[in-house]
Chain A
């Protein structure tokens, strides 16, 4: 089944404790992206990647890191999480960069930082 998977789905952590949220797709998509969703603010892009070893900042990259060493994986790293990073996170992928292709979203990761 074609899908985007994220792990974990739920995470409660403490300020400053490094964490990684994994994202994997099995559709051989070139483009992958991370979004955060907060009430009333919609989906805001954190980072995106147009292909292996190519990443770029989105609208809200501060406090996050990403890497794209393999085509299928695009992990999101929070080196020192803070409470303002409490949010719902979505990973998405599409065959190529988004202009003419639909994005497939993962199920989401709900992160709480205390």
Chain B
């Protein structure tokens, strides 16, 4: 089942912070975050695994609340390069497919 992302869109000025949320109705094994620039392929940002392990980006952080089946992506001191569409993807059990949400569009202006 597709995870739900919120908000659908965010507009920021450089230097401002943003939080993007991802929630699932199912228990989760892992949550993935990707960013897609217009006209390009999605690019990996981060994986958060059940149990607390994280792999990914140095300047972007995320949290994973296993009990609530929720994850949040934290973009601090945003830069113009942060603009794009952010997708979360969820995996219910090890060995099953990654299912993506509908995305959150982030626009950062100077």
Contact = CB atoms under 8 A, between A and B. Distances in A.
A binds B: yes
Interface of A: 33, 35, 40-45, 48, 50, 56, 58-59, 90, 97-108
A100 B97 contact: no
Given A98-B32, A100-B94, A105 B41 contact: yes
Interface of B: 2, 29-30, 32, 34, 40-44, 47, 49, 55-56, 87, 89, 91, 93-103
A48 B102 contact: no
6 contacts: A42-B87, A59-B2, A99-B96, A104-B44, A107-B41, A108-B40
A99 B30 contact: yes
Contacts of A44: 100
A35 B49 CA distance: 23
A106 B87 contact: no
Contact of A90 (B41, B55, B91, B103): B41
